[in-house]
A = this chain, B = another copy of it.
């Protein structure tokens, strides 16, 4: 059994990105520039955006944080997005979700130019991914594919069960793993709340991607010997063991499942660190105009 070290892989990729930025700057180009729009003061969002800004610094990107109060109008936000779409100094930008109820997230996402949509949430990028065209792939699916790739995990001809059909994890990762590509060529089943025989399906799976946000959902008796288990769950649960009073729990009962696995990701330290690095990769792709030439 091998524990997939997402933290280490993320550091390796960051180093690779930093080297690329160095050589870009050495060639007289400006460094990649990511902007982030943050509306309000949600604790989680503050933390995520702070991480993104810090990550940019670490690899030599420029970053710009644009803040609005909770009561910002949709109109003001959309005007800002339109300005960023046309700002040649900004390669890519994100609008941190969730947004206040009076603003339509769908409208916001669709107003971002697909060529600057480094979160990969715009329907154009999802549609292009679906038909195998170059696209910005959202953070978590991209991170999962990268882990599979860096650990040389064989996917072709394998049977994969994805638990969860969300737009940002389950659905896209199911498409990516099933594509005629490498990694890819898996036979993929998407399981969800309406799947009656989930245990039976998981027991067949060579690869399990757990992305439902239900702590400890995947137990040892659901996993076959030698399976690869990727745990996307990150639910905050109360804990006496940590200073903060909470800890992150994955969707997999790690202690009992791990001994059966060929590869498994821990929580934290598995998929999590990879999602942060995906945004950097997309921003670099945007700066080099590799997706939309």
- Tell me the smallest distance from the CB of A164 to a CB of chain B, in Å: 11
A187 near B191: Cβ-Cβ < 8 Å: yes
Among the interface residues A127, A128, A130, which one has the most CB atoms of the partner chain B within 10 A?
A: A127
Taking beta carbons and an 8 Å cutoff, which residues of A are in contact with B?
106, 122-128, 130-133, 156-157, 159, 165, 167, 171-172, 174-175, 178-180, 185-192, 194-197, 201
Q: Is the CB of B187 within 8 A of A189?
A: yes
Which B residues touch A128, using CB under 8 A? Answer: 123, 127
Beyond A165-B178, A187-B191, A201-B187, whether A157 also contacts B122 by CB under 8 A is no
Q: Do A130 and B133 have beta carbons less than 8 Å apart?
A: no
In the complex, what's the smallest C-beta–C-beta distance from A121 to chain B, in angstroms?
A: 8
Rounded to whole angstroms, the CA-CA distance of A155 and B204 in the bound complex is 22
CB-based contact A192/B196 at 8 Å = no
Q: Tell me whether A127 and B122 are in contact (CB under 8 A).
A: yes
Give CA–CA (A165, B131) in the complex, Å. 10
Apart from A123-B133, A187-B197, what are 17 other A-B pairs with CB-CB below 8 Å? A122-B127, A123-B124, A123-B125, A126-B126, A126-B127, A127-B127, A127-B130, A130-B167, A131-B171, A157-B196, A159-B197, A165-B179, A171-B175, A180-B192, A185-B194, A187-B196, A188-B189
